[in-house]
Structure 1
């Protein structure tokens, strides 16, 4: 006689898996969101620190302390090297048509956007030799 699972056993397993996934999937999306926020915070700290180092070196060399741009990248172009004037490594850009989550986008000569999620962006502006968050107060407070 062949052994098989009964219909009741199969339904119980499917119900159990469904209940576990109901709780696991929202946690998983939170983990991805939190990792993007952590990535942004670390990038932001490095960029701001290197801007400060650049200003200090310009003062010590008796040069102009005005920082006009952070890179020579093309605006709204994919795979451009961003922040090359202040970073020893490069951050690769995306463009507005693709909007890759977790990537930077150059909006203008002194404005950048970080894509946190498909519906959430953080805008930064190089202003008064500082890299400032120009998005809503809640988003800026979350990453600062």
Structure 2
């Protein structure tokens, strides 16, 4: 509990509440890295089913209570360009860096932990979560802290 209050005390004043739309997030992402949209068939069925399960149970779905039938996923991959070098250099066994968005819940997953943290932070936080110190605020602040401390 103590860490929760310290996180909130240390970071909340730095946050300006407000969600970014998917279009705003995509514009920001496109300026930051070189991406192309890829079909969901680029992933295995097992991976996609796992992501549906994760999105159902994600903190971003806590208040919406959407089921997997309600989801709308869209995927992107980072191109092999010098602009993307910082993200592509840690690939190891992966073929490419991907970003998978679920549009209704704001759930996002990437095989680049740094990029995922940056996207979550860029998406913003709602006024309700900000004012009521919700679990989502704590998650959001933990993303800021992990990025600041290079814990990715």
Which of the pair has the greater relative contact order for Cα pairs under 8 Å at 6+ separation? 2
With the length of structure 2 as denominator, give the TM-score of the two structures.
Answer: 0.23
Larger radius of gyration: 1
Q: Give the helix-richer structure, 1 or 2.
A: 2
